[in-house]
Each structure stands twice: as C-alpha cells, then as structure tokens.
C-alpha cells in the first residue's frame, strides 16, 4: 500500500512542478474550482512508471506510439457538485486536433485507463521563476480513487496528486499538468489545452 502521509506529497509535487523556481512571492489562498477541463499530449518519455505494466498499454500499441502513428492523450474533467475529478488515458491517431470536442466513452476500446477521484484538498502557491523573472502559479489537487472503469489502473482507495501551473494570473494559460500516483506512475504533460476557472480569481503577481 502507498503512504497515506499526505502533507509530504503536497510539498513534493509543488516543488517538482515549479522547478526551476525561487522563493514564493504571494500568500497561498484556498481556491475552489468552478470549471476544469485539461487535455494534453503525453510523450512516452514524460511518463515515469514503477514497472512497464503500469502504463496499461499493449506492446504492439507502444510501437505505434513511438513511431507517431498513434498518440497518447491524458484528459481531466471536474464535476463540481460531486467533487469528482475524472481522468482518462486514451489513444488517438497521430496529429488529432487538441483538444477533442468531448472525451471518449469510459469503456471505449481506445481508453487504457479511466478513473474517478474524489477531490479532498486544493492548494495554491505563487513563485517567481529565477531564469525569466516571471511569476508562476501552481495549483495542487489531492484526491482518492473512488471508481475505476477500466480493467487496469489505480485501485479504489489509492491517492493521486494532480498539479497544474500557469502564468500571468490566468488559469487558461496553463503550461503543464502532472499526475502522480505515489509508488506507481507519474506523468508530466506540457502540450496541453486548458479550460479552467477558479473562485475567487487567482491573485495577480505583484509589480516588480
């Protein structure tokens, strides 16, 4: 079983997601997610798995992903009323426009993993990027798997940590997404399309 020590997971994710960042320049606040849909292309070299089987992708499909014939996608949608984060890992032909108009059905043949997480905690931090002088905001979401629709993927009850970062105080300008199942698999996605609205609106970066 994975660790249930949640605070270190938050610290690890925030530090990893924000590198190379310097000191925090704004006070954290407690946002609520009004809307959230993120979809991104997932290069195989951006996935760090504890074992090859954790990818839940057949070997013959992996070869087509490596050649570019197929493309691996990750998608997250949020149901505010139920506080559910739904996560898909699915495959599309190479070059398919990003994002899809809608997510594939949960049990579609091209879906490798589909799960629901119950959102338990939200954290927001603001950092200054040393190399560029820009300010980046990072939101970390902690959830627990409540339903697994696919035959593979995390078991019910397992913890997941999701984080995304954006600049200029605009969540729709998200620049990366990470999905982390401790002890199993971590994915870092930088080619993303995001539709995010936080309440209250993120704090603006202080004028330098």
Q: Write the pLDDT tens digit of every residue in 157-198.
A: 999 999 998 877 788 888 889 998 887 888 888 889 999 988
Contact 40, 74 (CB under 8 A): yes
pTM of the full structure:
0.80
Nearest residue to 203 via CA among 38, 83, 41, 31: 31
Segment (H or E) for 76: strand 70-79
Higher-pLDDT residue of 106 and 206 is: 106
Q: Could you count the other beta carbons within 10 Å of the beta carbon of residue 68?
A: 10
Q: What is the pLDDT of residues 35-58, one digit of tens each?
A: 999 999 998 888 887 665 666 677
Distance CA 114, CA 186 (A): 15
pLDDT band at 65 (very low <50, low <70, confident <90, very high): very high
What is d(CA 114, CA 104) in angstroms, rounded to the nearest whole number? 10
Per-domain residue ranges for the chain?
6-199
């Amino acid at each position: 079983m994975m660790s249930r020590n949640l605070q270190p997971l938050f610290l690890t994710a925030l530090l990893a997601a924000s590198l190379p960042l310097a000191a925090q320049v704004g006070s954290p606040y407690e946002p609520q997610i009004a809307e959230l849909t993120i979809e991104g292309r997932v290069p195989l070299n951006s996935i760090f798995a504890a074992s090859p089987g954790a990818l839940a992708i057949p070997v013959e499909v992996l070869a087509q992903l490596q050649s570019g014939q197929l493309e691996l996608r990750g998608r997250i949608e949020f149901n505010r009323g139920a506080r559910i984060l739904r996560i898909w890992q699915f495959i599309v032909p190479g070059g398919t426009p990003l994002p899809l108009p809608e997510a594939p059905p949960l049990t579609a043949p091209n879906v490798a993993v589909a799960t629901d997480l119950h959102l338990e905690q939200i954290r927001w931090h603001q950092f200054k990027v040393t190399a560029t002088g820009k300010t980046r905001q990072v939101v970390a979401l902690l959830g627990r798997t409540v339903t697994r629709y696919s035959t593979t993927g995390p078991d019910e009850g397992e913890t997941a940590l999701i984080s995304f970062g954006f600049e200029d105080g605009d969540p729709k300008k998200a620049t990366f997404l990470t999905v982390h199942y401790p002890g199993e698999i971590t994915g870092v996605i930088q080619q993303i399309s995001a539709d995010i609205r936080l309440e209250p609106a993120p704090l603006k970066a202080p004028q330098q």
